[in-house]
Structure 1
Amino acid sequence: MTVAHGGHAPATALLPLVPVALALVAYLAAALREQRHGPRGWSAWRTAGFSAGAVLLMVALSPPVAAFAHEDFRGHMLQHLLLGMYAPLGLVLGAPVTLALRATSGRGGHRLGRLLNRPLVHALTHPVTALALNAGGLYVLYATPLYRATTTSPPLHELVHLHFLVSGCVFAWVVAGPDPAPRRPSVPFRLAVLGVAVAAHATLAQLRGGAELMYYGGDLAEILLALALMAAWRPRRAAAGPARTA
């Protein structure tokens, strides 16, 4: 078997899959419990979305893909798209926060709600901040010596992977996630932020040689994110006109 990264033994390369598999099992157990006993049930589409995201994440972290990413820049771009765009979209569309709020006790749900309302969370989950973390992280990686450094430092390599995943999940969540988000701006504003993200990814793909996968794969992921946002959009009806005077 090919090792996943320079110096990684096969057994070690499989370790990142364990927490993903455990998270998927926990989600499926909570979804099944909610479906059987919850007053409102649980959407099969949300379960499918989270499951697809978890599977894509495990594919991205699997030894064959990790080895391809280490040996070929095209493999690196494939892994980046799975980690930072496609897997987060599926995970977020699964509404894991909503499921956790339903599955936990009253005190646990209250604590989670208080966490979401903290000022720091408000700042980090604003679409502009999420865009800066997501697209800005790409520019830092590819426009500086950081990418070359990740090829020789496994800890740095894994840290970049974590950033891709977290920033991708935050961006998908604040743009189109069904979970509650603190002080989420209007849909037109979020569509504008998504448009900036598309332009940022396209510009970087042109600047970085061999990044065709980023250009085309990134566009498809962002189209899917836009469709998810539009599918959940419920425009407010115009306010009723002034009442007629007698």
Structure 2
Amino acid sequence: MTHHMREHGHAAGSGVLVLLPALALLAAVGAYLLLVHRARRRNPALGWSRWRTAGFVSAMALLGVALLPPVAPFAHEDFRGHMVQHMLIGMYAPLALVLAAPVSLLLRALPAARGRQLTAVLHSPPARFIAHPMVALTLSTGGLAALYFTPLHHALTSNPAGHWVLHAHFLLSGYLFAYVIGGPDPAPSRPGVRVRLVYLGVAIAAHAMIAQLMYGGFWVDIYAPIDQVQGGAQLMYYGGDIAELLLAAALVATWRPDHRRPTTRCVITPRGTSASA
């Protein structure tokens, strides 16, 4: 009787863990669609791109794949499943979310006063610091080294709360890096295209190096069989390359050339005629 009750309680708990993420993702899609409706109503001439809406829905779908069965149980049992989760939550979903331009949508949907407040927050010193490419690179790629080459991975994955902290870090740091490098939303600290390409190149090289060190077993502190660690390293190496190439494509697609014309000076010649300089 007691054993049956434990099994029933475990099944109920597993059902809640499946239901809550699904409801949260559906609520996020509903909130985004509501903001789209408000933005179109406030300014019908501008409208809102269906591609951006598709990007947000795709991001939520990718998160759903990562957080729901069969990937979620696989991630708890096999390090390769964990790496699939990492790719989906930390690289692919953030890119789709960035391309959905949620900040621009908020600025269009909010009342003017709220929009000015949001703009002030985006231009505040803390936001400018967090949105700097070096900070974004350190949190996203540097965080991987801290996770896989220290006991941090085992400490976080040994309890359910730690798993959700890890998911949140993957999502937020991945979104921040994609936002700084190739996002269409306004970013006060975003440098020029060449500088962003340099940061992206550094991220690609660092990501590949971490994967190679994991595959070779150097400095790795992961509680998993060798074949699982090597399989996860391969997923990280090739899956990371594809995601970063997509981010580079997003950078090119969202880049807008500077059309500002050079200023001219009016010079008064000795004879009193004007000339441009």
Which TM-score applies when normalising by structure 1?
0.91
Report the CA distance shift for 1:12/1:238 in structure 2 as closer, same or farther (over 3 A).
Answer: closer
Partner residue of 1:15 out of 20, 26, 29: 20
Report the CA distance shift for 1:107/1:242 in structure 2 as closer, same or farther (over 3 A).
Answer: closer
Within 5 Å, give how 1:222-233 maps onto structure 2.
222-233=244-255
Q: After TM superposition, where is structure 1 displaced by more than 6 Å over at least 4 residues in a row?
A: 241-246
Number of equivalenced pairs:
242
Cα displacement (A) at 1:148: 1.7
Per-residue Cα deviation, 1:180-208 (whole angstroms, up to 9, x for no partner): 11131111000100000001110011111
Distance 1:215 1:120 in 2: 33
Please state whether the residue corresponding to 1:34 is helix, strand or coil: helix
Distance 2:201 2:170 in 1: 19
Per-residue Cα deviation, 1:47-103 (whole angstroms, up to 9, x for no partner): 111111111011111132110111111111100000000000001100011101111
Larger radius of gyration: 2
Please state whether the residue corresponding to 1:194 is helix, strand or coil: helix
Within 5 Å, give how 1:68-147 maps onto structure 2.
68-147=74-153
Letter in 2 for 1:71: E
Contact 1:14/1:63 (<8 A) preserved? no
Distance 1:88 1:82 in 2: 8
Please state whether the residue corresponding to 1:211 is helix, strand or coil: helix
Aligned residue number for residue 45 of structure 1: 51
Please state whether the residue corresponding to 1:208 is helix, strand or coil: helix
Q: Which runs of 5+ in 1 are unaligned?
A: none
Per-residue Cα deviation, 1:197-233 (whole angstroms, up to 9, x for no partner): 0011100111113411111111000000000101122
Aligned residue number for residue 162 of structure 1: 168
Distance 2:115 2:28 in 1: 18
Partner residue of 1:177 out of 179, 183, 191: 183
Distance 1:245 1:110 in 2: 39
Contact 2:178/2:247 (<8 A) preserved? yes
Distance 1:37 1:242 in 2: 39
Aligned residue number for residue 219 of structure 1: 241
Distance 2:38 2:118 in 1: 20
Distance 1:74 1:166 in 2: 22
Please state whether the residue corresponding to 1:159 is helix, strand or coil: helix
Which TM-score applies when normalising by structure 2?
0.81
- Cα RMSD between the aligned structures? 2.3
Contact 2:42/2:109 (<8 A) preserved? no
Sequence identity of aligned pairs in percent? 54
Please state whether the residue corresponding to 2:136 is helix, strand or coil: helix
Distance 1:83 1:49 in 2: 14
Per-residue Cα deviation, 1:1-37 (whole angstroms, up to 9, x for no partner): xxxx9x9522233312322221111111222343455
Partner residue of 2:192 out of 177, 181, 186: 186
Report the CA distance shift for 1:227/1:19 in structure 2 as closer, same or farther (over 3 A).
Answer: same
Letter in 2 for 1:112: L
Aligned residue number for residue 196 of structure 1: 202
Distance 2:132 2:256 in 1: 20
Q: Which runs of 5+ in 2 are unaligned?
A: 1-9, 216-231, 266-274
Does residue 1:235 correspond to 2:241, yes or no? Answer: no
Comparing 164-173 with 8-17, greater Cα deviation is found at: 8-17
Distance 2:276 2:78 in 1: 74
Contact 1:205/1:214 (<8 A) preserved? yes
Report the CA distance shift for 1:241/1:163 in structure 2 as closer, same or farther (over 3 A).
Answer: closer
Letter in 1 for 2:253: A
